[in-house]
Amino acid sequence: MTREIEVDQLTRDQAAQELARLARLLMQANTAYHQDDAPEISDAEYDRLKARNLAIEARFPDLKRDDSPSEQVGAAPAEGFGKITHTVRMMSLGNAFDAEDVAEFDRAIRKYLGLGTDAPLAYTAEPKIDGLSLSLRYEKGRLVSAATRGDGAVGENVTENARTIDDIPHSLTGAPDVLEVRGEVYMSHADFEALNARQAERGGKTFANPRNAAAGSLRQLDPEITRARPLRFFAYSWGELSEPLADTQMGAIARLSALGFSTNPLTERCDGLDDLLAHYAQIEQQRATLGYDIDGVVYKVDDLSYQGRLGFRSTTPRWAIAHKFPAELAWTRLEAIDIQVGRTGALSPVARLTPVTVGGVVVSNATLHNEDYIAGRDAKGREIRDGKDIRVGDWVQVYRAGDVIPKIADVDLSKRPDDAQPYDFPTECPECGSDAIREEGDAVRRCTGGLICPAQAVEKLKHFVSRAAFDIEGLGAKQVEQFYRDGWIKEPADIFTLEERYGTGLQQLKNREGWGEKSATNLFRAIDDKRRIPFGRLLFALGIRHVGEQASNLLARFYGSWDEFIKAMDGAKDCAGPEWERLLGIDGVGEVMARALVTAFAQEHERKSIDRLTAHLTVEEATQPDTSGSPVAGKTVVFTGTLEKMTRAEAKARAEALGAKVSGSVSAKTDLLVAGPGAGSKAKKAAELGVDTIDEDGWLALIGDA
């Protein structure tokens, strides 16, 4: 190590360098001490470095860094919380943006439940609180844990912090033995203003809006800090229960209120669509005077047995929706248009804006969607914004709704600079120079460079390690970019040989900037943990166009094992023949997705890369729902004709829950045809193939629900 220069001898440049070095060393020491429980330097040396840092800052106050160690206590909080696995997943909500979306929500529910358009159907409507959700678990009336939503499956353990919130009871009388209460933690406008004023006075961190303040306050490692922050809680939902709370949503909320929880006073029961929209308008009018942020109105089916029948899509309930308030708007200057290249090669134009505050958040980038959008046309060639195009230098209207990426809504032509030119969308990839082409019917121009395009390769890798995919701890977007840049990881398979190549020897991971012995070992262990991977996750991680998380899981359940799936893809590679028909027969797989899938596995380049990857993996077979004793587990079932006791969607969901595969067409692989009145060609084909055929009552008797 170079000898340290006395503080009073340092030149300005040397001081700046030294502050950077100290910030890095102290950060490493903090991480080692607080997160890894493995201090790397002695306490005395730590104190000496800290004192030296302070002395340099005192001599050159203007060189003090934003990440100055003298401002920091402990280590980054995210690592500091324990994890809690939710016994019942925490869901999010689908969105409706206008009355038509709400009407569609109502129609879909009626259809699913088999109710006529005029049949009575009650909903509840209540404000959508703009805070963060929290799940509170009570056992025998005592609060035992509190967890944030996290990724819906696993959240952070914030029990001690939750206990400091006045609205959260520590004990309940007359509650079910197991009761998980869910709701929103939020901060009122008045408390938010006061907190920011106090923080500013002390030179501490101020918050952009009440929601950030609530999140920052709840997720404190020290519960005493949370206690000093005025947080509140509204209960609106529940997780695990040892006995039902009521028969209706309204009744359940009344019960939670009787148990001592705050519930929102604007919650109301509504009869049908018109009533919902009327209550929405009423809440929107009151919005500005509520004293806390809300960003829409949540509608829920009132009858809990209907909620049970409707169930969930992958992350949202079918029985609820959030009707969002219109977006917030602001005008600003468009300074430049940049092109970003995504994982599938899509060239996405991004607007760089003169920063402007929109609804309390500073916005400096917005999406421009695609070249048609910039030119003033929609996907079908019709005019949008009255045909006005968007040019660099234009005065543009920015809007944002909730957490979504801000968009550009309008252009003010009266303020257009005289020399502004129509935007020339690139026809070559700005990252690799390959041709960027637009396929017929596609709104998006794509780079044809495939994996030779560094932008695509990196984006694919980032997707590969993302949360819903391989989710490797310690290997996020930033690390992937670094490893890619240095040539250590070029494709997913390289992740699994990283230790072999860089665990020992001259060029070791632990010697790299930002890595140490402990973090390198942790990374290698985290990678090893993912050598076993569920089929659905692996497929999703490959980032094949049109094949999202839900489709990946559907395919995994359908084919069961990876080997079966690969055989099927090989069999379907010409987009013809029985395997191709079988793939298309899967309810939820359309032709576009099927082609994308088959092509990905048939292209030599991509296939070899996938095979190199799977050579390092054990792919877990798709977990089927617990179907022990189910008479239809593993059977391929087709429904045809009219069903009278349930809708087709409900029949399908029930069959899948019992482990059956539901297909839309009859083939030699079909085990059972359920035929209602009016069944036609499918029944005929089944008869020809000798497939067992039963009617709806037969089906209900079979699954034990006659």
**Separation of alpha carbons 419 and 422, rounded Å:** 10
Closer residue to ligand IVH in complex, CB, 124/479: 124
Which residue has the CB atom at the shortest distance from ligand IVH? 133
Q: From the CB of 322, what's the least distance to ligand IVH, in Å?
A: 5
**Separation of alpha carbons 599 and 71, rounded Å:** 54
C-beta separation of 40 from 29 below 8 A: yes
Compute CA distances 655 → 545, 557, 637, 638, 646, whole Å: 28, 13, 8, 10, 12
Positions 397 through 456 that interact with ligand IVH (CB under 6 A): none
Phi/psi at 30 (5° precision): -60, -45
C-beta separation of 614 from 588 below 8 A: no
**Separation of alpha carbons 543 and 554, rounded Å:** 15
Closer residue to ligand IVH in complex, CB, 126/303: 126
Compute CA distances 537 → 511, 549, 557, whole Å: 32, 8, 12
Q: For the window 243-282, what string marks contact with ligand IVH as x by the rule CB under 6 A?
A: ----------------------------------------
Phi/psi zone of residue 614: left (φ > 0), alpha (ψ -120 to 50 degrees), beta?
A: alpha
Q: From the CB of 402, what's the least distance to ligand IVH, in Å?
A: 8
Among 10, 29, 91, 453, binds ligand IVH (CB under 6 A): 91
Closer residue to ligand IVH in complex, CB, 91/351: 91
Residue 651, both tokens:
């029949």
**H or E element in which residue 239 lies:** strand 232-241
SS (H, E, C) 366-395: EECCCHHHHHCECCCCCECHHHCCCCCCCE
Closer residue to ligand IVH in complex, CB, 176/317: 317
Q: From the CB of 24, what's the least distance to ligand IVH, in Å?
A: 37
Determine the interface stretch with ligand IVH among 123-131, 332-340, 452-460, 677-685 (rule: CB under 6 A): 123-131
Residues serving a catalytic function are: 128
Q: How many whole angstroms from its chain centre is CA 457?
A: 22
Positions 311 through 370 that interact with ligand IVH (CB under 6 A): 317, 320, 322
**Separation of alpha carbons 380 and 372, rounded Å:** 10
Closer residue to ligand IVH in complex, CB, 232/446: 232
Q: From the CB of 268, what's the least distance to ligand IVH, in Å?
A: 12
Phi/psi zone of residue 177: left (φ > 0), alpha (ψ -120 to 50 degrees), beta?
A: alpha
> What contacts 656, CB < 8 A, 6 or more positions away?
557, 625, 662
In degrees, to the nearest 5, what angle opens at C-alpha 573 toward C-alphas 567 and 579? 60
Among 237, 249, 456, 640, binds ligand IVH (CB under 6 A): 237
Among 18, 184, 394, 656, binds ligand IVH (CB under 6 A): 184
Count of beta carbons in the 10 Å neighbourhood of residue 526: 15
Closer residue to ligand IVH in complex, CB, 30/133: 133
Burial 145-168 (b: 16+ CB within 10 A, else e): bbbbbbeeebbbbbbebbebbebb
Radius of gyration of the chain (CA): 29
Determine the interface stretch with ligand IVH among 108-116, 124-132, 373-381, 613-621 (rule: CB under 6 A): 124-132
Closer residue to ligand IVH in complex, CB, 150/492: 150
Among 14, 17, 87, 92, binds ligand IVH (CB under 6 A): 92
Q: From the CB of 129, what's the least distance to ligand IVH, in Å?
A: 4
Closer residue to ligand IVH in complex, CB, 359/571: 359
Among 124, 133, 161, 248, binds ligand IVH (CB under 6 A): 133
Closer residue to ligand IVH in complex, CB, 252/461: 252
Q: Does 185 bind ligand IVH (CB under 6 A)?
A: no
> What contacts 345, CB < 8 A, 6 or more positions away?
429, 436, 446, 447, 448, 449, 450, 453, 456
Closer residue to ligand IVH in complex, CB, 75/102: 102
Among 18, 57, 126, 431, binds ligand IVH (CB under 6 A): 126
Among 233, 236, 423, 540, binds ligand IVH (CB under 6 A): 236
**Separation of alpha carbons 132 and 127, rounded Å:** 14
**Separation of alpha carbons 559 and 539, rounded Å:** 12
Q: From the CB of 80, what's the least distance to ligand IVH, in Å?
A: 23
Q: From the CB of 254, what's the least distance to ligand IVH, in Å?
A: 15
**Separation of alpha carbons 224 and 693, rounded Å:** 66
Q: Does 298 bind ligand IVH (CB under 6 A)?
A: yes
Among 93, 276, 310, 341, binds ligand IVH (CB under 6 A): 93
Positions 32 through 71 that interact with ligand IVH (CB under 6 A): none
C-beta separation of 458 from 481 below 8 A: yes
Q: From the CB of 279, what's the least distance to ligand IVH, in Å?
A: 13
Determine the interface stretch with ligand IVH among 69-77, 86-94, 459-467, 491-499 (rule: CB under 6 A): 86-94
Q: From the CB of 265, what's the least distance to ligand IVH, in Å?
A: 12
Q: For the window 570-609, what string marks contact with ligand IVH as x by the rule CB under 6 A?
A: ----------------------------------------
Q: From the CB of 235, what's the least distance to ligand IVH, in Å?
A: 9
Q: From the CB of 238, what's the least distance to ligand IVH, in Å?
A: 9
Q: Residue holding tokens 């239809």?
A: 632
Kindly determine how many residues on this chain lie close enough to bind ligand IVH according to the rule CB under 6 A.
14
Helices (H), 562-647: 562-571, 578-585, 591-602, 604-614
Among 128, 137, 343, 462, binds ligand IVH (CB under 6 A): 128
Closer residue to ligand IVH in complex, CB, 128/661: 128
**Separation of alpha carbons 461 and 477, rounded Å:** 8
**Separation of alpha carbons 285 and 374, rounded Å:** 35
**H or E element in which residue 574 lies:** none
- What does the binding site for ligand IVH look like in residue numbers (CB under 6 A)? 91-93, 126, 128-129, 133, 184, 236-237, 298, 317, 320, 322
